[in-house]
């Protein structure tokens, strides 16, 4: 409820509704950045602040799984760039990925009496068998858990490129940007469309960082563990020729289902991999509702610019339609998935689900690109009040 009040407040304070010339001229006379009275900011300040925050929310916040061995620096760079691009287009996928790993790490921690850091390290392919295969399935863990329990948490954290303090500072950075946006709303100062889009990334980044607080960052080399004498059923031999396609990878990012991942014929886990744990259908729907709810929040924050001042009527409606679609689609997707789940192999429900998934696969990236493009094109015509900076002395005396 507090979140929706926040969005409504931003919407009311975001400015005029249309990019009509008369309204533009009126906006120019309503408020201006008089540096003798107000603290001012430039267009460069706005763009630089937003780009720095987006970079911190995407590139810096990504906690990738352990990569394949012997990858070159260029391959590692491209691997992270692809993940960053996906987070910019569909950050909800990364939220779902982080949530699945968090749930799996917590289950491993309770089931095998290890820390959450150990659990995350299992999920990211950090433990490697002596044969060179990741120990990253529920069936493998009993045979290696004795060796895993002997590894200290500090030894795992030592391989991480970031500690709790650095992650806490990154979370604080995202919260600081949210605070700035709230302050502008309370002081009746408009937010640019780029700032609204950045605000959405900042909110999701805080959620992702909290989920990954105990996950090691940018680990390049796994820890080799020895197999114990525990009697377990041997893993079946798998076909090594079954390479994943882009759609397979996308399906794995969405659902967490990696049917093509073969533990004894792989040298690393997939990019969005998490150990699958047994949960009931109702619990799976609850988890899905949480992830899609975050996606709806992401779109709803863009709706905060519903009444913003746009350079043209066309741009205003493109923004409104795009943000409404991004906000509504996760909710409708959950209802459709729930209907298909409860209908149990009903042809009509399955057809509806398939059609809705196609609509999302086609429409979602298009509307996200519209929002990204408009975030920058609308900077060409900003109201003068957009350059007035927040007066922090209203909240902090003698500043």
Q: How many domains does the chain have?
A: 1
User: Is residue 354, in this structure, part of any structural domain at all?
Assistant: yes
Assigned token pair, 2: 């507090």
> Is the predicted pLDDT of residue 9 greater than 70, yes or no?
no
Mean pLDDT to the nearest integer, 257-278: 77
> Is the predicted pLDDT of residue 360 greater than 50, yes or no?
yes
Q: Give the per-residue pLDDT at 5.
A: 44
Q: Which residue has the higher pLDDT, 279 or 55?
A: 55
4: DSSP letter = H
Percent of the chain with pLDDT over 70: 74
Q: Give the per-residue pLDDT at 260.
A: 66
Expressed as residue numbers, the domain containing 301 is 8-21+41-273+281-382
- Please state, in angstroms and rounded to a whole number, the distance separating the CA atoms of residues 308 and 304: 8
> Is the predicted pLDDT of residue 85 greater than 90, yes or no?
no
User: Is residue 180, in this structure, part of any structural domain at all?
Assistant: yes
Q: Which residues contact 236 (CB under 8 A, 6 or more apart)?
A: none
DSSP 86-155: HHHH-HHHHHHHHHHHHHHHHHHHHHHT--HHHHHHHHTT-EE-TTS-B--STTTHHHHHHHHHHS-HHH
Q: Give the per-residue pLDDT at 34.
A: 55
Q: Give the per-residue pLDDT at 15.
A: 46
40: DSSP letter = B
The greatest distance separating any two alpha carbons of the chain, rounded to the nearest whole angstrom, comes to 80
- Please state, in angstroms and rounded to a whole number, the distance separating the CA atoms of residues 105 and 123: 7
Assigned token pair, 69: 């061995």
Q: Is 113 left (phi over 0), alpha (psi -120 to 50) or beta?
A: left
> Is the predicted pLDDT of residue 323 greater than 80, yes or no?
yes
Q: Give the per-residue pLDDT at 287.
A: 65
Q: Give the per-residue pLDDT at 336.
A: 75
Comparing CA positions, the residue from 10, 86, 88, 14 lying closest to residue 54 is 88
CA-atom Rg of the chain in angstroms: 24
Q: pLDDT category, 345, cuts 50, 70, 90?
A: low
Mean pLDDT to the nearest integer, 362-384: 90
Mean pLDDT to the nearest integer, 170-183: 83
Strand, coil or helix: what is 231? coil
User: Is residue 36, in this structure, part of any structural domain at all?
Assistant: no
Q: Give the per-residue pLDDT at 30.
A: 44
User: Is residue 390, in this structure, part of any structural domain at all?
Assistant: no
> Is the predicted pLDDT of residue 69 greater than 60, yes or no?
yes
Q: Which residues contact 183 (CB under 8 A, 6 or more apart)?
A: 390, 392, 395
> Is the predicted pLDDT of residue 21 greater than 60, yes or no?
no
User: Is residue 303, in this structure, part of any structural domain at all?
Assistant: yes
Assigned token pair, 68: 């394949």
What's the pLDDT tens digit per position in 125-153?
999 988 888 998 888 888 899 999 999 99
Torsion of CA 24, 27, 28, 34, to 10 degrees: -150
The label of the residue with tokens 């590692």 reads 76
What's the pLDDT tens digit per position in 227-239?
876 555 555 555 4
User: Is residue 239, in this structure, part of any structural domain at all?
Assistant: yes
Q: Give the per-residue pLDDT at 25.
A: 43
Q: pLDDT category, 92, cuts 50, 70, 90?
A: confident
Q: Mean pLDDT over all residues of the chain?
A: 78
Output the 3-class SS for 59-84: HHCCCCCCCCCCCCHHHHHHHHHHHH
């Amino acid at each position: 409820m507090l979140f929706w009040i926040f969005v409504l407040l931003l919407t009311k304070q975001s400015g005029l509704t249309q990019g009509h010339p008369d309204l533009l001229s009126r906006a120019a006379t309503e408020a201006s950045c008089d540096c003798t009275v107000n603290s001012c900011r430039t267009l460069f300040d706005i763009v630089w602040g937003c780009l720095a925050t987006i970079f911190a929310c995407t590139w810096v916040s990504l906690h990738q799984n352990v990569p394949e061995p012997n990858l070159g620096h260029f391959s590692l760079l491209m691997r992270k760039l692809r993940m960053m691009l996906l987070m910019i287009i569909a950050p909800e996928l990364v939220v779902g990925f982080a949530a699945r790993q968090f749930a799996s790490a917590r289950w491993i921690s309770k089931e095998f009496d290890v820390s959450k850091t150990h659990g995350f390290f299992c999920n990211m392919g950090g433990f490697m068998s002596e044969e060179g295969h990741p120990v990253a399935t529920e069936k493998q863990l009993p045979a290696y858990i004795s060796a895993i329990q002997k590894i200290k948490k500090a030894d795992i954290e030592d391989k991480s490129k970031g500690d709790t303090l650095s992650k806490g500072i990154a979370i604080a950075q995202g919260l600081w940007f949210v605070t700035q946006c709230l302050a502008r709303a309370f002081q009746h100062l408009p937010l640019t469309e780029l700032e609204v889009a950045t605000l959405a990334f900042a909110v999701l980044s805080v959620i992702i960082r909290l989920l990954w607080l105990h996950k090691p960052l940018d680990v390049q080399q796994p820890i080799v563990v020895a197999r114990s004498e525990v009697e377990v059923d041997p893993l079946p031999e798998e076909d090594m020729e079954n390479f994943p396609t882009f759609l397979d990878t996308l399906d794995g990012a969405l659902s967490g289902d990696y049917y093509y991942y073969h533990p004894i014929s792989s040298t690393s886990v997939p990019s969005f991999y998490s150990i699958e744990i047994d949960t009931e259908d109702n619990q799976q729907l609850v988890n899905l509702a949480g992830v899609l709810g975050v996606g709806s929040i992401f779109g709803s924050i863009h709706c905060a610019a519903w009444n913003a001042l746009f350079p043209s009527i066309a741009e205003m409606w493109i923004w409104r339609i795009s943000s409404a679609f991004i906000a509504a689609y996760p909710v409708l997707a959950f209802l459709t998935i729930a209907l298909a789940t409860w209908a149990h192999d009903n042809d009509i429900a399955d057809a509806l689900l398939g059609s809705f998934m196609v609509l999302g696969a086609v429409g979602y990236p298009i509307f996200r690109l519209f929002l990204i493009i408009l975030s920058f094109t609308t900077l060409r015509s900003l109201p003068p009040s957009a350059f007035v900076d927040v007066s922090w002395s209203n909240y902090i005396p003698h500043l």
